[in-house]
Amino acid sequence: MAKKKRKRPRARPADGSAAPSDGRATDAGGAQGRRERKDEARRTRELERRRARRAAVMRRSVRVAVATVVVVAGFALIARLGGANDISAEAVEAASNAGCTEASQPVPSPSGGHLTSGQAFTYQQRPATSGRHDPSPLPELPHVYTDVAQYSETQAVHALEHAAVMLYYRAEGTGALPQPVIERLERVANGSRYSILAPHPNLPDDTSLAMAAWNRLQTCPASISPDAAATVATGFIEAFECTGNAPENGASSAC
């Protein structure tokens, strides 16, 4: 019988280390490393995508915010420069029935300019709706004055330049505005942003109530009723108070 060949034992390295593998362990380790690198690359790409999405959302938010600011500023500019509003049909009808004039523009080219503080000045127009004026306008409050000594017309004209409305009335003598009408107008003025009710010392003989804005004037007789006066005054205020009709609308915090 033929003798079986004996397998020779593998020779160990002289330094006692393990014998070289057959390559399978090395392949497994390489595959594991490739998977880890792929996972890391995938995580990096996902992180970059998230950052890109956040940046896109931020850019859209900024664009929306900027657009909102532009729109708001545009509306504010239109409100400031867009001129007067229309007087309501109700106010027009009430004025006509009460014998009031229509709202007019008394001066073709109204002028301004400051006087020195406290300087007296006589206006040719009664009441004045434009012209030189005190450096300080009438404040937003109070809305009602009961005596001509409480204010100056030069300050009132400056207030008109800032888009205020003055409601002047004849306080005494022939053609004085009745007290119930004055009291009704007090409520109108107190409910406004920048309209002021005050007696005027020198209204024309045929005028008992005069509503003034910058270069705008409407007048009414003493026979006007309290409700009609309130309707006419409200229509005038809605048309001219805090509008671009005045050259310095927006200069007052009330507007």
pLDDT tens digits, one per residue of 102-122: 999 999 989 889 999 999 999
Mean pLDDT (the chain) is: 85
Residue 10 pLDDT grade (very low, low, confident, very high; cuts 50, 70, 90): low
For 244, the 3-state DSSP assignment is coil
* Domains of the chain, residue spans: 28-81, 86-240
Helix (H) or strand (E) holding 48: helix 24-81
How would you write 204-219 as a 3-class SS string?
A: CCCCCEEEEECCEEEE
Where is average pLDDT lowest: 6-10, 128-132, 173-177? Answer: 6-10
Q: What is the pLDDT of residue 72?
A: 40
Q: What is the pLDDT of residue 199?
A: 98
Q: What is the pLDDT of residue 70?
A: 40
Residue 236 buriedness (CB in 10 A; 0-12 / 13-18 / 19+)? buried
Tell whether the model's pLDDT for residue 17 goes beyond 60.
Answer: no
Q: What is the pLDDT of residue 64?
A: 58
Tell whether the model's pLDDT for residue 5 goes beyond 70.
Answer: no
Distance between CA 250 and CA 255 in Å, rounded? Answer: 5
Q: What is the pLDDT of residue 66?
A: 47
Q: How many CA atoms lie within 13 A of 176 on its CB side?
A: 9
Per-residue pLDDT reduced to its tens digit, 24-64: 555 666 777 777 777 777 888 887 888 878 777 777 766 65
Which tokens belong to 248?
């310095």
* pTM, full prediction: 0.69
Q: Which residues contact 177 (CB under 8 A, 6 or more apart)?
A: 169, 170, 171, 208, 209, 222
Q: Which residues contact 11 (CB under 8 A, 6 or more apart)?
A: 19
Overall average pLDDT of the 190-216 stretch: 97
Distance between CA 208 and CA 37 in Å, rounded? Answer: 93
